[in-house]
Structure 1
Amino acid sequence: MDDLEFRRMILSEPKLRNKDINDAIQHSEANQVFADDILNLDAKIEQAMKVDVPDDLADRILFNHSAQPEKKSFTKQMLAMAASAAFAAGLIIGQVNWTPLLIGSANASLADTAVEHVIHESPFVNNLDESVSSTQINAKLRPFAYQFTETFPYHVYYLNHCGFGSSNALHMVFKGEQGRITLFVTNIGTEQAIDFNKDGMSGVVVPIEGSSVILVGEEGENIQKIAANLTSIIKPTL
């Protein structure tokens, strides 16, 4: 289990402890700290949601017109509790070394989101070489209803799913001519192809039937050529 998968599982189920998770915790102090912080956060949120309701609240609402100020006071207490929970979450989140799962905003362009994602995750993925097979690639593509109809023509260092703006994406890193290239496949659509250069990187966004393929590489990489090669062999699953 890699670090991204470990963190996704802990975030979705903070109390889950199976063999894979226990092994990941035992072999990494960072994973232990992350698991403990998320478990503490879950406990704080759960405690914040436990608000005692006055026994006579129903009677006040139904029969006593003077209950209106009380009701407003109770509402304010509920809002205060929610704000406290959010504040506690913010404090804890600020102390955790997160690998970004959701980057950018709903209004950010696909190109900006892709570049930010590459920058944030490069310290983690740049030293990996998982020698990913074409079978594994198509298995990861299945949730997006796409597949490569031919063997993937480049050596793949890394493959996983990731959060991508307001949606999800296939996240792949493979070997280009100048260096490593990052590929995203997302069901966020775009109307036309977009070339971009940003923060020392070159890239392209290519529409594919309601979805998008985004490639980001080093400046000088022939991204358009690689994009043409890949988009010619990626097709919707039947």
Structure 2
Amino acid sequence: MGRKITSISAYRNKKEKEEIQLQTALSVDMPQGLEQHLLQIPDRENSGNRRSRPWLGVAAALLMALTGYGMYPMLEQSNLFTSGSLIQDAIAHAGSQQAFIQGIDEAVTLQQVNMKLQPFGSQLAHLPGHVYYVNHCQFGKKTVFQMVLGNAQGQKVSVYIVPQSSSGEDMRVQGNVNGVQVPVNHASLVVLGEDEQEARAMSDKMKAAIEWHSI
């Protein structure tokens, strides 16, 4: 059993080690034409060439890793979100993964949400809406809590808890996205919605539901 993560710093160190390992694996240059070569393998097998090719398993695994990595660009791009504004960072992150989470409904439970909140020293007493998706993400070097949930009008709202204190409330609009940032305990709560009023309403629901404890 892996070591239990009990703090943001421990979680960040773990993620940084995983990213270094992934980048090391992805730094290997692919042989030119490898993808086409792999696609032609069935035809060669059918022609009677049955020689063992142990390297194919490694090459195929590497190709799958590279392809999968390309399908989820937010894993790489998330490290670039350091605009100086937490709302802008949240909007950039939400935009990068829009296609990925658009049709997702993981029907997340309160227990699952609180497991993700544990490294932030907090938990929810209740869910403020139907939770479609919950995870951790990166704003630069900051490990951030992310949750996508539905409001009373059926609109999807993105919620972020950032382990960075803020002195006061902030509000920004970018396109059709309204972002609200409010200080909560030792962190900041950022809520993105289609409507400023709904973003503020979800912000109030989150503040009422969240409980803080030491980590």
In the superposition, the TM-score normalised over structure 2's length comes to 0.65
Matched, 1:11 2:11: no
Matched, 1:160 2:135: yes
1:131 to 80, 94, 107: 107
1:101 to 53, 78, 86: 78
How far, CA to CA, are the matches of 2:193 and 2:136 in structure 1?
19
1:33 to 42, 63, 78: 63
* Structure 1 runs not aligned, ≥5 long: 1-6, 17-30, 39-92
> What's the CA shift string for 1:45-74, capped at 9, x where partnerless?
xxxxxxxxxxxxxxxxxxxxxxxxxxxxxx
TM-superposed CA distance for 1:11, in Å, is 3.2
Report the counterpart of residue 227 of structure 1 in structure 2: 203
Aligned residues: 162
* Matched AA of 2:89: T
Report the counterpart of residue 198 of structure 1 in structure 2: 174
Counting only pairs closer than 5 Å after superposition, residues 62-211 of structure 1 correspond to structure 2 as 98-99=73-74, 100-105=77-82, 107-148=83-124, 150-176=125-151, 177=153, 179-211=155-187
How far, CA to CA, are the matches of 2:187 and 2:196 in structure 1?
26
CA RMSD of aligned residues (A): 3.1
* % identity of equivalent residues: 22
Shift in alpha-carbon separation, 1:97–1:140, aligned structure 2, 3 A: closer
Shift in alpha-carbon separation, 1:96–1:232, aligned structure 2, 3 A: closer
The one of the two structures with greater contact order (alpha-carbon pairs below 8 A, sep at least 6) is: 2
8 Å contact 1:201–1:218 — kept in the other structure? Answer: yes
In the superposition, the TM-score normalised over structure 1's length comes to 0.60
> What's the CA shift string for 1:57-96, capped at 9, x where partnerless?
xxxxxxxxxxxxxxxxxxxxxxxxxxxxxxxxxxxx9x88
How far, CA to CA, are the matches of 1:97 and 1:141 in structure 2?
23
TM-superposed CA distance for 1:32, in Å, is 5.3
* Structure 2 runs not aligned, ≥5 long: 1-14, 26-60
